[in-house]
Chains A and B, each alone.
Chain A
């Protein structure tokens, strides 16, 4: 079984400032790691994913995340946010060994509010 902890429930940030959203996970097996974004009244959209290879992953809209196996973390960063980045962000994991599953376990979410 896996669990995901997002350490910040809300992150206010000024426009053009950097932002970091923290995510830690717990799993007894190897996992895939994901960040999703959810805009108001919309479904989830995949921002980026870590499957294997380089631990620094770049995604859409200028976001990037770094996988740290020793710290079991997958923090999301953006060097300069825009008003349009106001949304809720979810970290998720999937059991790498589930060949037919890809079932996602989500964290509780971090609400980002970008202020002008």
Chain B
């Protein structure tokens, strides 16, 4: 079974530019998560999708961040315009949908550096 795929793996941009990250979850996983991991900190949930609907985006800075999951499969996370403090690793994870615990599987992440 293929794991969670993310691209690009690395991205360097200047502040005020825009950037987009892509995630392809494990086949059959209805739930998809985007986390932000700033250097030296634990991951923080940005947004959670169930199929193509948003379950939780309470910690997404909506003035500059946006995310979509068209057709309930792949997802894109965008930052526009980027700030220096957006430098981080962006992790995508996916899990099955159910009424009990479902393990989250993580992709390798995209490391963003904003100069």
Contacts and interface: CB of A to CB of B under 8 A. Distances in A.
Contacts of A80: none
Contact of B42 (A32, A41, A108): A108
A68 interface: no
A109 B97 contact: no
Contacts of B97: 100
Contact of B107 (A32, A43, A46, A108): A43
Interface string B87-115: 00001010101011111101111010000
Contacts of B101: 32, 49, 51, 94, 102
B79 interface: no
Contacts of A46: 103-104
Interface stretch (B12-20, B43-51, B63-71): B43-51
A44 B43 contact: yes
A76 B102 CA distance: 22
B33 interface: yes
Contacts of B4: 43
A4 B45 CA distance: 14
Given A41-B108, A103-B48, 4 more contacts: A6-B42, A43-B4, A43-B106, A43-B109
